[in-house]
Amino acid sequence: MEEEFRAYGKYEDWSGTVVADDADHTHHIGALLEAKGLIKRDEFLVGFEAEFAEHFRSNDIKMYVRAFIASTPDFDTTKKEIEGTSGLFPLRTVSFDLPLKEFFDLFKQFTILVERKGLDLTGRTVEIKD
């Protein structure tokens, strides 16, 4: 199945960018996947999507997480493979639910910046006025 590597929403009223810093060298989403037996030693975590959707609303809030995994052992090998592939790059996915606190505990910082659909401000320098 082919899929564009980007976030999707039902209406996509907002879009933007996100940056995240791993909590530390041993407590991060890759280590979580290893502990759960969802990634092998000769595979590399390329990325993940995390979704909170209306149907997840409850007292026990969870994030739906889908990890994208390459059959390469490390960053450098994965980067070289991606750059050397002109067609589709093969990725395996695994999905699981994770309590909201456990998800955010995997990061020192998790920043999301969104803008109204169609404004195209991402990457543009703006003047911030008080």
Q: For residue range 33-84, list pLDDT tens digits in order.
A: 999 999 999 999 999 999 987 665 666 788 999 999 999 999 999 999 999 9
Looking at the domain assignment, is residue 63 inside a domain? Answer: yes
The CA distance from 14 to 21, in Å, is 23
17 vs 52, more confident: 17
Residue 81: domain span: 25-103
Q: How many helices, marked H, and strands, marked E, lie in the chain?
A: 3, 5
DSSP letter string over 60-87? S-EEEEEEEEESSSSHHHHHHHHHT-SS
User: Per the structure, how many domains does the chain have?
Assistant: 1
In a domain, 124, yes or no: no
- Give the pLDDT confidence score for residue 68 in this predicted structure: 98
Q: Could you give the CA distance from residue 86 to residue 33 in angstroms, rounded to a whole number?
A: 29
Residues 98-112 pLDDT 10s: 999 999 999 999 999
- What pLDDT is recorded for position 62? 87
Cα distance between residue 118 and residue 51, in whole Å: 22
The amino acid that residue 18 corresponds to is V
Q: Is 119 a domain residue? A: no
Asked if residue 38 belongs to a domain, the reply is: yes
Could you tell me what percent of the chain has a pLDDT over 90? 84
Domain presence at residue 1: no
Residue 84 lies in a domain: yes
Has residue 116 been placed in a domain? no
